[in-house]
Amino acid sequence: MSKVLTKAVTIQAGQRAAAGGSRQLPTDPFGRLYADHGLVRPPYSLEKLLELKEANALHAAAIDQKAADIAGLGWAWVPVPGVKRPDERQRERLEAFLAGCNPETTFRELLEAVWSDYETLGWGVIEVVTDGKGIPVELYHVPGHTVRAHKDQVRFAQIREGKVRWFKRFGTPRTYHLDTGEQRKGLPEDEQAGSLIVIRRPGSRSSYYGIPTYISALGAIIGNLAVRDFNIGWFGDRTIPDMMLIVQGADVSPEVQAELKAFFSAEVRGQHNKLVILPIPSDLQGVQARLEKLTPDLKEGSFRLYRMDNAMEILTAHRVPPYRLGWPIVGSLGGATAREMTEIYKRSVVEPGQEILEHRLNAQLFAAFEPALGRLEWRWKLNDLDLSDKMAELDYGIRAVERAILTPNQARGRLGLDPYPGGDTYYMPSTLVPVGQDDVRKAGRDEPTDWARLHRDHEEALREKVRDFFAARRSAR
């Protein structure tokens, strides 16, 4: 009885396995600095969190939108409560500082970059450069993923291109060495550690680092990346699934296996290889070869529902309505719901974020000007996110002025217009004029009014017509 030799060679689509690259966490550049210099390791890899933002479009869009809505709408200076006539010179000095605080970027750009880090990494970092008297003169954004916190919660270390620089928390009177982080007295100014304002989002996992809001949706973000990488490999292989080449009746040496794998991985890909003929020499009697799929057929819409579920989970974790990103949801969520979701987003995400940013800068950055300007009578405030309907606001202003609810200047202020002299008076409509009296209800008057007489005469004429109609019918009988 003859024996038939069967050998199978697995042929896997060449680039599909490697499309996404390794999922390992990158090597932490701080390495031994954690143990040797007292630095605290963050609960999540900051470099990996940054990579996730760069790799997922929806995740990045939600972060950028929050940064723009919270920190990118501009600001104003408002009087401190209780101060009726604040010092204009203070406001002018502070505004001049913000206008020239960075030679390369505007203050608004700097704020957006810092808040983007806050949403991406859990903290945002600003370097404050001061003059010899401790008054701020320049501001710089420090990429948050390059900074690590020291266990004393005062010092911070930054690594860039293999170099270590030390910083201290802004406002700390002690001096530290720029290169070693050691506390020293009498250091020259060019050897002293710089100062940082660190805006951290509190989290229960760490007292040193912030925890981003989207951490609960990491699985959804990584899942969508896996789908993306699979589809890239799938289309890169011209939708050819993983296959098994079964050769029956002949031995296949390792060298031949390698050649077959190379052939199917490289030579059969592309539009010009839609039809591939695998010839078998005629002198190989009884040799058979066939291809069998190892994976089911997939279409270009594969994982669509999975990606949609992940997308909604990502936006839910960010608490950003899809409409804010220009993504209309067709279905039960109508226009009224879109407005309600955006209003909730403003109240629960934007306003608390603005309150945090205003507090940190007013309490730390601008308070540092008091030795030069005296007690500040102005408070820095971010502009609100405007979700109003201008026509509705205009209509409300008109009605409120007509009913003495608002003065004209108050209504103009709601529309963003300047007041005008004499516009602080309340008005009531005065166009009603008397046209007569209701004499029927006047006491002591018995004779009927003109209207009552007209009604009585009309009713009597109608009775006469009815009587004449029935009298005529009786006569006809």
- Contact call for residues 364 and 127 (beta carbons, < 8 A): no
Q: What string of DSSP letters covers 72-89? A: SS-EEEEEPTT-SS--HH
What mean pLDDT do residues 105-129 have? 96
C-alpha dihedral, 380 to 362 to 111 to 191, nearest 10°:
140
Distance CA 137, CA 372 (A): 12
What does the chain come to in residues? 477
Distance CA 39, CA 151 (A): 6
Tell me what the pLDDT averaged over the chain comes to. 81
pLDDT of residue 10: 52
Amino acid 22: pLDDT: 46
Cα–Cα distance measured from residue 217 to residue 99, given in angstroms and rounded to the nearest whole number: 38
475 pLDDT more than 50: yes
Confidence of residue 24 (pLDDT cuts 50, 70, 90): very low
Look-up of token digits 């420090």: 142
Q: What is the mean pLDDT of residues 4-17?
A: 49
CB 393 within 8 A of CB 414: yes
pLDDT, tens only, 329-368 = 654 444 557 778 888 899 999 999 999 999 999 999 999 9
Give the per-residue pLDDT at 380: 96
Beta-carbon contacts of 86 under 8 Å, excluding residues fewer than 6 positions away, are: 79, 80, 377, 378
pLDDT band at 4 (very low <50, low <70, confident <90, very high): very low
DSSP lists the bridge partners of residue 198 as 125
Q: Which is higher by pLDDT, 446 or 125?
A: 125
Q: What is the pLDDT of residue 258?
A: 77
- pLDDT class for 470, splitting at 50, 70, 90? low
pLDDT at 439: 55
For residue 1, what pLDDT is reported?
42
41 by DSSP, 3-state: which? coil
% of the chain beyond a pLDDT of 90: 44
pLDDT at 304: 82
- Cα Rg of the chain (Å, integer): 39
| DSSP codes joined into one string, 3-40 | ---EEEEEE--TTTTTSS---SPPPPTTTTHHHHH-B-
Sheet of 123-130: strand order equals 136-142, 123-130, 194-200, 163-169, 155-160, 147-149
Question: What 3-state DSSP class applies to 124?
Answer: strand
| Cα–Cα distance measured from residue 129 to residue 138, given in angstroms and rounded to the nearest whole number | 5
The domain segmentation of the chain, as residue ranges, is 9-242+294-387, 388-430, 447-476
Residues 453-469: b if buried by 16+ CB within 10 A, e if exposed: eeeeeeeeeeeeeeeee
What does the angle CA 263 – CA 265 – CA 266 come to, to the nearest 5 degrees? 70
pLDDT (tens digit, 9 = 90+) per residue, 287-336? 677 766 656 555 555 678 888 899 999 999 999 998 888 776 654 444 55
pLDDT band of residue 441 (cuts 50, 70, 90) is low
Half-sphere exposure of residue 30: CA atoms within 13 angstroms, side-chain side = 24
250-265 pLDDT per residue, tens: 677 777 777 777 776 6
The pLDDT tens digits of the residues spanning 209-261 come to 999 999 999 999 999 888 888 777 766 655 555 666 777 766 777 777 777 77
Residue 25: CB atoms within 10 Å = 11
